[in-house]
Amino acid sequence: MISILLPTNRINKNILCKITHLYNGLETLRNEKIFTKEFIDLSLSRLANTKHYLEPTLRSLEKQKFRDFELIISHRYPEDVRGIVESYNIRLKLVEEKPSVWHKLGNYGTLNNNINTAFIHSSGDLLWRLDDMTYFNNDITREINDLWKRNLYMTSKAIRCIDYFPDLKNKIKREQLGFNKFRIIFKGISGEVKNLTFSNEEYPRIPKYMVWGYSSTISRDDFLRVNGQDELYDGAVCGTDMDLGRRIAAISSISRVASKNYIYEVNDIPYKHNIRDDVIMRKIFKVNNIKGNAWKPNQEQMKAYEKWHKENIGELDSNWNKFMDVPFIDLETEYKLKRLGRVIYDSNNS
């Protein structure tokens, strides 16, 4: 079985307008030839009459042809999503995100804490890490399962950060953002295309470290071997999927391929990003641990990073070093005991 891990901490009233705004913009471009038929059809069907930001994803999952999967949603404020998840015919659990030192400090991201919470309550042999505000065609889970039978991991091609800007309705632009990644702006619609590879193969091999957070698979066993997501990255939303990918690549014998199906993702509203740069911090200190959440810098190293940050970026957020208070989590123990993360709704027991 596939366990879909969906971490999300958004509040519907703060984010729903993004989906409504995008749908209205896409409707005006329904007949433009630059867009694929799948993109237009899926966008209009998945985003139409949306009452909650999770609906595009829930609609996509409910229509999957391959149904041997479970969805585990971890949310800091689960009551905000309970009503909508109960209305969908999907095997799912809604759990309350386990406690984190960041919850009482402000609007900080706790993505790794949230993913680990979802994992603790999963039961599948294969994990599919999926972002919220995503939508996709009816064949994604079947593709994932077929590749897993061939002992292959998958990372999805994607069109991400999809948004509509009326003031750009007269602009057509293609901007290169990096290797095989570019942004398209066409008559107000903007999106980042991540093709992952230039190859024309049906399933081209890609580097094992490409465990991107928006849509990628990992086995339960490999996830446990690296002790899951590194919660020391919480508080700062940067580098979390890259860190997991690097650690998975170092221990896993399973190859990774790019999907032939696309994931589409609505542009989001980010958390604070300026608290610190964990990727740079670890590069400065040449930290390269396999086991997640096993390293914490000493006071001398922290002073060195603070000096680097002030010289290169500016003053640090006053809470930047609170990650030192994050306790080490033995994920395998918590997975067996399932004592962290309160189950709010379980469709199997409804």
Q: Report the C-alpha gap between 342 and 94 in whole angstroms.
A: 9
Q: Where are the alpha helices (DSSP H) in 86-237?
A: 111-120, 140-149, 220-225
Any idea where the domains of the chain sit in the sequence?
Answer: 2-273, 274-320
Contact 123, 70 (CB under 8 A): yes
Q: Give the pLDDT score at 203.
A: 96
Per-residue pLDDT of the chain (350 residues; tens, 9 = 90+): 999 999 999 999 999 999 999 999 998 887 777 788 899 999 999 999 999 999 999 999 999 999 999 999 999 999 999 999 999 999 999 999 999 999 999 889 999 999 999 999 999 999 999 999 999 999 999 999 999 999 999 999 999 999 999 888 888 888 998 888 889 998 899 999 999 988 889 999 999 999 999 999 999 999 999 999 999 999 987 789 999 999 999 999 999 999 999 999 999 877 777 799 888 888 888 887 777 778 888 899 999 999 999 999 999 999 999 998 998 899 999 999 999 999 999 999 87
List alpha helices for 6-78, DSSP H: 12-27, 37-47, 55-62
Distances (CA, A) of 176 to 27, 198, 204: 27, 14, 22
Structure tokens at 309: 């940050």
Nearest in space to 142 (alpha carbons), one of 263, 264, 261, 40: 261
Element (H, E) at 19: helix 12-27
Question: Residues 240, 246, 250, CA angle at the centre, nearest 5°?
Answer: 150
Neighbours of 49 (CB within 10 A): 7
At the second CATH level, the architecture of 2-273 is Alpha-Beta Complex (3.90)
Q: What pLDDT score was predicted for residue 285?
A: 87
pLDDT at 350: 73
Q: What's the CA gap between 113 and 97, in Å, rounded?
A: 7
How far apart are alpha carbons 4 and 130 in whole angstroms? 7
User: Under DSSP, is residue 116 helix (H, G, I), strand (E, B) or coil?
Assistant: helix
pLDDT value of position 296: 85
- pLDDT of res. 145: 98
Nearest by Cα to 132 from 173, 99, 94: 94
pLDDT at 140: 98
What is the model's pLDDT at position 163? 95
CA–CA separation, 191 and 184 (whole Å): 6
Cα gap 227→123, rounded to integer Å: 16
Distance CA 321, CA 180 (A): 35
| HSE-up (13 A, CA, CB side) for residue 43 | 29
